[in-house]
């Protein structure tokens, strides 16, 4: 069985996305089909034999690195005809049969099935997130890879019962997820622009805006952020400011041909407000919150990372003082108010270090 994908039938944006993922696509196809005609791979990926050879070399390095183990370790000492380093035979090898050339994925043994089960569980959880957000396109992609892994395992080890119960064994319980089914095209375009580093022309309507037809502007999309089951975009505007945008506030998004380069050392965490909220560009303050004498409450507080620089101090009267810095925001106020009478005192002052 061989995979056939015609680039002619794909949308332009799909082809752009495929071009950035060609080595990964090759590996996924081989995991599913085990053996593929070399001429079909070249045609489907739109590459030359020299490029395919580079892909195979890089994928074999990855597969032999230990991150994905699909070769038989008992044969590590055998040196193949190509003289591979460390005496490990290729995980992906070229096979010639008469005048036909294949690429074949060396089969993995049953003892490695548990490693693949771990990957299946993570894909299952990722698929659940997209499913709850009702993003059909990316839910379809994760489901496809998930099914490929299942098919590769079923003949190796008897895990049918575990697979049937997987949704009950590993369940993702979302917190009030948003429905992005009406924003499917917008989400898809934004992700493609992030992957291909393309500028976007967008119309964005803030929650406080009173107009139904906002003016378009150019945005450089940096990073897609998932926070409390809601999607946000970190992007650089025309004034070189990196801001946080709610995905469901975009009225329209159009991919432009102009490429952009992200700022060196860009890190999304530097533009977000710790773990409590998403807004990270407001005034930062130092807070001291004193909680009442309650050992059970203190245990709950200490068990979680609420703020990156949080610290706790037990006071002589049994109360607990929590110190941290954070941006002032509605989200932070909501978190503080959620503790109600458990907070006996709150001290707030501007943080001079920012």
Lowest mean pLDDT among 112-121, 188-197, 309-318: 112-121
Q: What local confidence, expressed as pLDDT, does residue 251 receive?
A: 94
DSSP secondary structure letters along 136-168 = HHHHHHHHHHHHHHHHHHHTTS--HHHHHTHHH
Q: What local confidence, expressed as pLDDT, does residue 294 receive?
A: 96
Q: Which of 33-42, 65-74, 105-114 reaches the highest mean pLDDT?
A: 33-42
pTM over 0.95: no
**Do the strands 284-291 and 320-327 form a parallel or antiparallel pair, or are they unpaired?**
antiparallel
Any domain includes 1: no
How many independent structural domains does the chain possess? 4
Determine how many CB atoms are found less than 10 A away from the CB of residue 172: 15
Any domain includes 278: no
Residue 84's pLDDT band (boundaries 50, 70, 90)? very low
3-state per-residue secondary structure call for 160-197: HHHHHCHHHHCCCCCCCCCCCHHHHHHHHHHHHHHHHC
The beta-carbon contacts of 49-58 under 8 Å, at least 24 apart in sequence, are 52/26, 52/103, 55/22, 55/23, 55/26, 56/90, 56/92, 56/94, 56/103, 58/23
Q: What local confidence, expressed as pLDDT, does residue 110 receive?
A: 39
Q: Is the pLDDT of residue 90 over 70?
A: no
Q: Is the pLDDT of residue 229 over 90?
A: no
Q: What local confidence, expressed as pLDDT, does residue 159 receive?
A: 56
Question: Looking at 108, 133, 159, which one is the last position of a domain?
Answer: 108
Same domain as 95, residue 21: yes
Any domain includes 174: no
Any domain includes 257: yes
Residue 69's pLDDT band (boundaries 50, 70, 90)? low
Same domain as 103, residue 13: yes
> Residue 60's domain is classified under what CATH number?
1.10.10
Average pLDDT on 310-320 reads 95
Q: Is the pLDDT of residue 327 over 90?
A: no
Q: Is the pLDDT of residue 318 over 90?
A: yes
Q: Is the pLDDT of residue 79 over 60?
A: no
Any domain includes 90: yes
How high is the mean pLDDT of the chain?
A: 78
Same domain as 117, residue 104: no
Pick 282 or 260 by higher pLDDT: 260
Same domain as 251, residue 306: no
Q: What local confidence, expressed as pLDDT, does residue 197 receive?
A: 93
Question: Looking at 141, 169, 197, which one is the last position of a domain?
Answer: 169
Same domain as 241, residue 330: no
Same domain as 265, residue 200: yes
pLDDT tens, residue by residue, 266-309: 988 888 877 777 766 667 789 999 999 999 999 999 999 898 88
Q: Is the pLDDT of residue 71 over 50?
A: no
Pick 259 or 17 by higher pLDDT: 259
Any domain includes 2: no
Q: Is the pLDDT of residue 85 over 50?
A: no
Average pLDDT on 161-189 reads 80
Same domain as 339, residue 295: yes
Q: Directed axis angle between helix 49-64 and helix 38-45, to 10°? A: 100
The whole-angstrom separation of Cα 153 and Cα 163 is 10
Q: Is the pLDDT of residue 148 over 60?
A: yes
Average pLDDT on 309-335 reads 91
Same domain as 261, residue 205: yes
Same domain as 119, residue 98: no
What percent of the chain shows pLDDT beyond 90?
28
Any domain includes 325: yes
> Residue 212's domain is classified under what CATH number?
2.30.30
């Amino acid at each position: 069985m061989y995979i056939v994908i015609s680039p002619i039938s794909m949308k332009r944006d799909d082809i752009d996305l495929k071009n950035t993922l060609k080595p990964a696509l090759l590996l996924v196809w081989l995991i599913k089909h085990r053996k593929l005609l070399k001429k079909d791979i070249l045609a489907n990926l739109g590459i030359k034999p020299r490029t395919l050879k580079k892909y195979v070399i890089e994928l074999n390095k990855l597969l032999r690195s230990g991150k994905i183990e699909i070769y038989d370790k008992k044969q590590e000492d055998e040196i193949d005809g190509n003289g591979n380093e460390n005496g490990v035979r290729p995980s992906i090898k070229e096979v010639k049969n008469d005048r036909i050339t294949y690429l074949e994925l060396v089969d993995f043994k049953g003892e490695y099935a548990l490693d693949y089960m771990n990957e299946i569980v993570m894909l299952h959880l990722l698929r659940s997130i997209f499913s709850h957000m009702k993003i059909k396109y990316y839910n379809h992609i994760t489901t496809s890879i998930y099914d490929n892994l299942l098919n590769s395992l079923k003949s190796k080890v008897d895990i049918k019962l575990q697979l049937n119960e997987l949704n009950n064994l590993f369940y993702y319980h979302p917190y009030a997820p948003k429905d992005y089914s009406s924003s499917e095209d917008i989400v898809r375009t934004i992700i493609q622009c992030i992957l291909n580093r393309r500028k976007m022309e967008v119309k964005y309507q803030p929650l406080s805006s009173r107009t139904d037809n906002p003016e378009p502007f150019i945005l450089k999309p940096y990073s897609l952020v998932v926070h409390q089951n809601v999607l946000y975009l970190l992007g650089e505007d025309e004034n070189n400011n990196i801001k946080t945008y709610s995905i469901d506030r975009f009225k329209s998004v159009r991919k432009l041909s102009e490429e952009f380069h992200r700022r060196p050392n860009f890190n999304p965490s530097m533009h977000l407000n710790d773990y409590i909220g998403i807004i990270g560009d407001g005034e930062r303050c130092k807070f001291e919150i004193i909680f009442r004498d309650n050992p059970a409450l203190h245990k709950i507080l200490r068990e979680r990372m609420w703020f990156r620089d949080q610290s706790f101090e037990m006071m002589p009267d049994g109360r607990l003082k929590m110190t941290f810095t954070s941006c002032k925001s509605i989200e932070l106020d909501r978190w503080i108010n959620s503790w109600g009478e458990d907070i006996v005192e709150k001290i707030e002052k501007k943080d001079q270090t920012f």
